[in-house]
Amino acid sequence: MCVRCRIKMGQKSRKRSEFALILLQLLTLVSSAPPRCDSGQYFLGRCKPIVEEKPKCTDLLLSYCDDMAYTQTMFPNIVGHKTREEVELGTEYLLLSVVETLLGGECTPDIRMLGCSVLAPRCEKDKVLKPCRSICEAVRKSCVHAFEGIDMAWPYFLDCDRFFVSDQEGCYDPLEGLRAEEEVEAFSSAPPEDSSTMIQFTYHSNAQMNSIIKKTEARCSDIATTYSIGRSVEGKDLLVIEFSNNPGEHELLEPEIKYIGNMHGNEVMGRELLIYLIQYLCSEYLLGNERIQTLINTTRIHILPSMNPDGYDMAASGVEDSNYADEEGPRYDTWNIGRNNAQNIDLNRNFPDLTSIVYSRRRHKGYRTDHIPIPDFYWLGKVAPETYAVMKWIRSIPFVLSANFHGGDLVVSYPYDLSKHPLERNMFSPTPDDQVFKFLARTYANAHETMANYSEWCGSSRDSQGGIVNGAQWYSFAGGMQDFNYLHTNCLEITVELGCDKFPAEEELYTGWQENKEALLTFMEAVHRGVKGIVKDEDGNGIKGARVSVRGIRHDITTAENGDYWRLLTPGIHILTASAPGYTRAMKKVHLPARMRKAGRVDFVLQKSVLEPDTEEDDINIPSMGTYERFDPYNHFERYAAAEMTQIQEQRAEKPWWWNYFVSSGGSAPTWLLRHY
Ligand SMILES: [Zn+2]
């Protein structure tokens, strides 16, 4: 096992033992609690009688609340627990004792102290004081994302409206003890930088990752928004953060780009780079970095740091799955554990293989290499929910450019990934857009600190091609994501391999960021190459779904909802044609100078025509494949996979991963912790 895996395992087992210790302490408390009086017991001298007397302040003896700024509390507490023992046996207190572990260190000790102020409220002069609502609301605002990250509901006893009061009502600050400590620290050390703008170049758990995504959204709410594209097999949100000057909306002529990390769960550098990138974009925008402001103001950027969070968990915990060892031998373990999703599906082999369809039709006159429908039989196979979520995502947004990040080598690969010859595993298999793809791949590789000059291949010796390689020439495979992007949508995607080590040591993360930062930015800026424009009718209305063709490139781009399109192109002279059913064609010749930094604007006005455009004779030679719309994956996925999804969701609704922590404590099941209950 690698050193890094041992470190990871070490952390995990340490957390487990902490947790075991907590449980042990709780059990000890249970056994030492004085017995209650049932009828008859008092007379046998086995317990004390319950005497109704006026509640008094009593010493605060709860061990998880020993850093509160006061020492006296009173029972019953704010939620009605009558004794210290009752508090200690309750799920609320158990939650406070494990919340740090569950949230991966997020939001502590704030959450715990907030909870203490409810379970053991401050008592002065035999009167209970209530904690301040404003403090509760501030903690909730910054911590609710951490709870969402582990799919846990905001605990009922931290309800700011129910259990907290306003300043006017004489409340106290439950975090007072914390602030006193902070002041001492701030006094004794150099003034710390604003911690919210500091990027931690460490590994992030899924909960920490989601928390950072949500916090970044909150910090940069004018230019960022988040959304989930679906859930993993184990029910984790596939969370995307979007940056744009108008987040949440497609703007006319504004190109859209996506970055996808961690498709293979054990290839983790890309995931971390994207977590750093989102913080960087937000901070730099706020700081007034002109380059970042221009980028965000002119581009809609979507970032999915982890496409395979289940695989990541598996890889990070370094679990040795004996099933794998039996099948492929132990040598494969560290290379493969966590690569696939939780159904053991390789997501980068799970997309519809449209490349084979294109190859099988390439001798037909007028065959196409764009907007190939998904064949019906695809849905009969096993479609991972992660694959499905991404397919649905990339169909719903007019993406122009994309990169997905892997590890295991240091190179950018570009389509096709599938060899054009079934028996040749290493055959150069270019797309009609080979020039554009080479340009895009070089854009990343050249802006990377070492990639273009890297002369060796990890674990094999082959000639370098300046840090870029055609996927099929490297090694051929079917069902990959970049081929699917190219053949099904307008989006051009490349695959970036970020280094030989799939799960590098934590110290290497900062180096990785430095090596890739410029490339990550430059590649996004490349979406503004080529031409863009609007295809309109004579009344000036945009035509949706019009085709924009480039002479010599057998791959059309279609227009988006309002007739806008983007066509990435290399510099030179190009002849463009726009066409749409029921309209005449329009043609334009454009010259793109070598040093263009903005897409050339080329609009088309199409006139109504009684004649259909002359594409029909081409179509006669192509066996019917149905229409693009008819093969919407949504309908098909519903038909074939809905039952399975429901089953998964039901299982999840019953058992989140942290559920056993609470039910095994013997108390009643705390359904109030379930978000989807
Ligand atoms: Zn990979």
pLDDT one-digit tens code per residue, 85-95: 999 888 888 88
* Cβ neighbourhood burial of 392 (10 Å; 0-12, 13-18, 19+): middle
pLDDT computed for residue 667 by the predictor = 58
CA 497 to centroid of ligand 1, rounded, Å: 8
Peptide bond into 227 cis (omega under 30): no
Q: Higher-confidence residue: 378 or 668? A: 378
Say if residues 348 and 261 touch (Cβ distance below 8 Å). no
pLDDT computed for residue 2 by the predictor = 41
Residue 655 has pLDDT above 70, yes or no: no
Residue 118 pairs in a beta bridge with none
* Listed range (155-169, 288-302, 459-473, 591-605) with the worst mean pLDDT: 459-473
Phi-psi sector, 142: left (phi>0), alpha (psi -120 to 50), beta: alpha
pLDDT band at 178 (very low <50, low <70, confident <90, very high): confident
Average pLDDT of the segment spanning 48-61? 74
Residue 399 pairs in a beta bridge with 256
* Listed range (97-101, 133-137, 166-170, 658-662) with the worst mean pLDDT: 658-662
Average pLDDT of the segment spanning 595-612? 86
pLDDT computed for residue 183 by the predictor = 55
CA 403 to centroid of ligand 1, rounded, Å: 12
SS (H, E, C) 31-86: HHCCCCCCCCCHHHCCCCCCCCCCCCCEECCCHHHCCCCCCEECCCCCCCCCCHHH
Task: Kindly state the DSSP code that residue 264 receives in the 8-state scheme.
Answer: S
Residues 6+ apart with CB under 8 A from 103: 111, 143, 146, 147, 149, 150, 207, 211
pLDDT computed for residue 597 by the predictor = 79
Which of 44-48, 125-129, 556-560 shows the highest mean pLDDT?
556-560
- What fold is seen in the domain 220-527? Aminopeptidase (3.40.630)
* Listed range (104-113, 413-422, 435-444, 656-665) with the worst mean pLDDT: 656-665
pLDDT band at 462 (very low <50, low <70, confident <90, very high): low
For residue 664, the tally of other CB atoms under 10 A from its CB is 9
Residue 33 has pLDDT above 60, yes or no: no
Dist CA 67 CA 70 (whole Å):
8
pLDDT computed for residue 53 by the predictor = 67
Say if residues 414 and 441 touch (Cβ distance below 8 Å). yes
CA 355 to centroid of ligand 1, rounded, Å: 19
Identical fold for domains 33-183 and 531-629, yes or no, is no
CA 495 to centroid of ligand 1, rounded, Å: 9
User: Domains of the chain: which residue ranges?
Assistant: 33-183, 220-527, 531-629
Residue 531 has pLDDT above 90, yes or no: yes
* Cβ neighbourhood burial of 6 (10 Å; 0-12, 13-18, 19+): exposed
pLDDT band at 498 (very low <50, low <70, confident <90, very high): very high
CA 352 to centroid of ligand 1, rounded, Å: 17
pLDDT computed for residue 463 by the predictor = 58
Identify the CA nearest to 548 among candidates 403, 352, 398.
398
* Listed range (234-248, 298-312, 527-541, 647-661) with the worst mean pLDDT: 647-661
Average pLDDT of the segment spanning 505-531? 96
Average pLDDT of the segment spanning 380-396? 93
Mean pLDDT, rounded, of the chain: 83
pLDDT band at 612 (very low <50, low <70, confident <90, very high): low
Residues 6+ apart with CB under 8 A from 496: 270, 403, 404, 405, 406, 412, 444
Dist CA 88 CA 92 (whole Å):
8
Residue 219 has pLDDT above 60, yes or no: yes
Say if residues 244 and 299 touch (Cβ distance below 8 Å). yes
Say if residues 67 and 86 touch (Cβ distance below 8 Å). no
pLDDT band at 280 (very low <50, low <70, confident <90, very high): very high
Q: Higher-confidence residue: 363 or 29? A: 363
pLDDT band at 191 (very low <50, low <70, confident <90, very high): very low
| Token reading at 339 | 């690569």
Q: Higher-confidence residue: 275 or 426? A: 275
Residue 480 has pLDDT above 70, yes or no: yes
Q: What is the pLDDT of residues 613-645, one digit of tens each?
A: 555 444 434 433 444 454 454 454 554 455 555
What is the percent of the chain with per-residue pLDDT over 70, rounded to a whole number? 78
Average pLDDT of the segment spanning 293-311? 97
pLDDT computed for residue 505 by the predictor = 92
CA 340 to centroid of ligand 1, rounded, Å: 10
What is the percent of the chain with per-residue pLDDT over 90, rounded to a whole number? 57
CA 241 to centroid of ligand 1, rounded, Å: 22
Q: Which of 217, 497, 508, 617 is catalytic?
A: 497
Q: Higher-confidence residue: 240 or 668? A: 240
Residue 363 has pLDDT above 70, yes or no: yes
Residues 6+ apart with CB under 8 A from 65: 96, 112, 113, 116, 119, 120
pLDDT band at 556 (very low <50, low <70, confident <90, very high): very high
Place of tokens 């066509």: 567
Say if residues 491 and 390 touch (Cβ distance below 8 Å). no
pLDDT band at 28 (very low <50, low <70, confident <90, very high): very low
Average pLDDT of the segment spanning 409-433? 92
Residue 525 has pLDDT above 50, yes or no: yes
CA 9 to centroid of ligand 1, rounded, Å: 23
Q: Higher-confidence residue: 97 or 210? A: 210
Dist CA 123 CA 24 (whole Å):
29
pLDDT band at 208 (very low <50, low <70, confident <90, very high): very high
Residue 26 has pLDDT above 50, yes or no: no
Residue 100 has pLDDT above 60, yes or no: yes
pLDDT computed for residue 49 by the predictor = 53
pLDDT computed for residue 90 by the predictor = 86
Dist CA 408 CA 16 (whole Å):
31
Residue 656 has pLDDT above 80, yes or no: no
Average pLDDT of the segment spanning 53-82? 89
| Token reading at 437 | 């793809």
In CATH, 531-629 is 2.60.40.1120:
yes
Average pLDDT of the segment spanning 295-324? 84
SS (H, E, C) 327-390: HHCHHHHHHHCCCCCCCCCCHHHCCCCHHHHHHHCCCCCCCCCCCCCCCHHHHHCCCCHHHHHH
pLDDT band at 596 (very low <50, low <70, confident <90, very high): confident
CA 267 to centroid of ligand 1, rounded, Å: 6
* Listed range (286-295, 385-394, 653-662) with the worst mean pLDDT: 653-662
Average pLDDT of the segment spanning 488-503? 95
Which of 46-60, 87-101, 120-134, 307-321 shows the highest mean pLDDT?
120-134
- Is residue 182 part of the annotated active site? The answer reads no
Instruction: Report domain 33-183's class.
Output: mainly alpha
pLDDT band at 181 (very low <50, low <70, confident <90, very high): low
List alpha helices for 70-197, DSSP H: 84-89, 91-102, 110-119, 133-149, 160-163, 176-188
CA 264 to centroid of ligand 1, rounded, Å: 5
SS (H, E, C) 459-522: CECCCCCCCEEEHHHHCCCCCCHHHHHHHHCCCEEEEEEEECCCCCCCCHHHHHHHHHHHHHHH
CA 334 to centroid of ligand 1, rounded, Å: 14
pLDDT computed for residue 506 by the predictor = 92
Residue 158 has pLDDT above 70, yes or no: yes
pLDDT computed for residue 438 by the predictor = 97
Q: Higher-confidence residue: 609 or 282? A: 282
CA 643 to centroid of ligand 1, rounded, Å: 30
Phi-psi sector, 530: left (phi>0), alpha (psi -120 to 50), beta: left
